[in-house]
Structure 1
């Protein structure tokens, strides 16, 4: 007894309408049924298209369906790259080959729905990884702004030389080194540490400054001193020793 394909197709259409009553739309009935069923990921919201993937699976019965494969196409894809459309059709073809001889539209829709959810999970994971990568790169770039360049002895010496030249410090140092050197008398007159050390010595010996007796005969009368001019020869100043005769 031959199989009545028309009757099998009509019975399947009736069952599909009861299952997908809000997602299914019959497009043609003659010569064969053509209908669409809308599928979407669990997160899909028609009012917020960025929240998931969706598309319409369009089926057209062939004369001897289900002993013959139905025609399947995809319409109105949402957030689906062209590659996804191609991959989904390949996936459905494999399901069709496994179910030849049996009513298969329900199996095809269920399998397509599951496949779409998996692809959306992959998409969200990739999106999250990409967001984390960009955040890491941004934080690294910001950190390097404050990290600066590591200093070595060579880089520091180079920097110091360039800094001193740009600020004029090097020129001042050279100028100071070429200026007149201090004479022995000038060094003595500027060195107050000798006075401080003498006073400290007396205090440690138990003598107060008021009780120190000075032998005035050790010093020449102030009127006998000959004060040299500021322009005295440098060689005389360098030979001058404190306490020596100035005559």
Structure 2
């Protein structure tokens, strides 16, 4: 094919693309032909709309070989608030879409292919976003389900099995033995305190009982009775204390 024929093929495709994309087509140069197509990805209800830009540059032998092309995200139409279910295209996604677009072009070698590349690019972007959105929804649903199950578990409690019951029984019996031991030790300490208090009371009583009364001292020490005789004056009657003590003993 001659250079003139390639140029004619390329011009014809450019004219067709301009009619299909009247506002999305932007021509940058004619030698070589270089232009861009703005592709709005907004035909699906369950994805966040976005805008892609497909830039094409014809080679001298296009369409017998792939054009030089580039895919990029555009800021146009991407300013809506993002929710937790909004999936966005990443650099890895752009790489994936570039490979898909290249495969589409290779399948169309020998004929005009830009329209097919642009159409399949849009479909692949919708497919990619729909999958990522579904993944986000699944993750959110799983999180909500776990939260519901955790809340229900507060009221249902833990299911008892034979193994868990035996473990609980062993722990319970060990706790009861510890409590009984502590109670016995406390009772033993209280008993020791009571015994010590009783011994102290008995010792105090014995000490009190060992003290002699005045009468007992008077009876045991007769000198006490005679010690007052020096205070007797004329006319006083002297009392025989010894006789009084003997009389007391006879009684």
Report the TM range for the smaller structure's normalisation. 0.5 to 0.7
CA deviation after TM superposition for structure 1 residue 153, in Å? 5.5
User: Pairwise mapping of residues 164-243 of structure 1 onto structure 2 (< 5 A)?
Assistant: 171=183
**Cα separation, partners in 2 of 1:144 and 1:131, compared to 1, 3 Å:** same
For 1:162 and 1:106, how far apart are their aligned partners in 2?
A: 80
**Cα separation, partners in 2 of 1:76 and 1:34, compared to 1, 3 Å:** same
CA deviation after TM superposition for structure 1 residue 148, in Å? 4.4
Q: Which ranges of structure 1 fall in alignment gaps of 5 or more residues?
A: 180-247
Equivalent position of 1:211 in the other structure: none
For 1:143 and 1:163, how far apart are their aligned partners in 2?
A: 32
> Scaled by the length of structure 1, what TM-score is found?
0.58
For 1:51 and 1:126, how far apart are their aligned partners in 2?
A: 14
1:137 has 2:146 as partner: yes
User: Pairwise mapping of residues 112-127 of structure 1 onto structure 2 (< 5 A)?
Assistant: 112-127=121-136
1:68 has 2:65 as partner: yes
**Cα separation, partners in 2 of 1:163 and 1:14, compared to 1, 3 Å:** farther
For 1:158 and 1:94, how far apart are their aligned partners in 2?
A: 68
SS in 2 for 1:152: helix
- How many residues in Structure 1 have an aligned counterpart in Structure 2? 172
Equivalent position of 2:90 in the other structure: 81
Equivalent position of 2:119 in the other structure: 110
Q: Identify which of 101, 104, 113 aligns with 2:110.
A: 101
Residues 26-85 of structure 1, C-alpha deviations (whole Å, 9 max, x = no match): 1223x212111122333579xxxx823431111011112112211110123562111111
SS in 2 for 1:125: helix
Answer whether contact 1:40 1:116 (CA < 8 A) is retained: no
**Cα separation, partners in 2 of 1:54 and 1:153, compared to 1, 3 Å:** same
Residues 103-144 of structure 1, C-alpha deviations (whole Å, 9 max, x = no match): 111111111111111112211211111111111222233233
For 1:118 and 1:55, how far apart are their aligned partners in 2?
A: 14
The Cα RMSD (Å) is: 3.5
Equivalent position of 1:59 in the other structure: 56
Answer whether contact 2:89 2:129 (CA < 8 A) is retained: no
> Scaled by the length of structure 2, what TM-score is found?
0.57
Equivalent position of 1:42 in the other structure: 42
**Pair member with larger Rg:** 2
**Cα separation, partners in 2 of 1:43 and 1:96, compared to 1, 3 Å:** closer
**Cα separation, partners in 2 of 1:116 and 1:126, compared to 1, 3 Å:** same
Equivalent position of 1:218 in the other structure: none
